[in-house]
Amino acid sequence: MPTNKTVITVIISTLASCAALCVFAICYLSYKSIQIPPELNTLTGGLIGALTGMLVKTSPTEGTKAPDSGGNGGSTPVTIVNPPSDPVPTIET
């Protein structure tokens, strides 16, 4: 059964590289005595928070199989409650 481990790895790697790039940019701007834009601070905090949340709460899980219900292709039988001769009553207000 396939797992979601690959997806988790790609997302974690992307978040980690973006967060590292933002932290490096903040360090470089601080070194050059350039004012750090508030948007960069917000982005960096969000990326680090998202990375922390992913690392704390995420674990690989097994994929689920679709139920095999014989020859109908896995579809669920449908019961028509109101046939066209007796439509659903509506009241206009």
pLDDT in tens, 29-75: 999 999 999 999 999 999 999 998 888 876 767 666 665 555 555 56
CA angle 15, 19, 20 (to 5 degrees): 120
Locate the domains of the chain by residue range.
Answer: 5-56
Cα–Cα dist 69/20, whole Å? 49
Long-range contacts (CB closer than 8 Å, 24 or more residues apart) made by 27-36: none
- Read off the tokens for 22: 């933002």
Residue with tokens 């095999």: 68
* pTM beyond cutoff 0.75: no
46 vs 8: which has the higher pLDDT: 46
The reported pLDDT for the residue numbered 43 is 96
- Does position 19 have pLDDT exceeding 90, yes or no? yes
Classify residue 19 as exposed, middle or buried by CB count within 10 Å of its CB (0-12, 13-18, 19+): buried
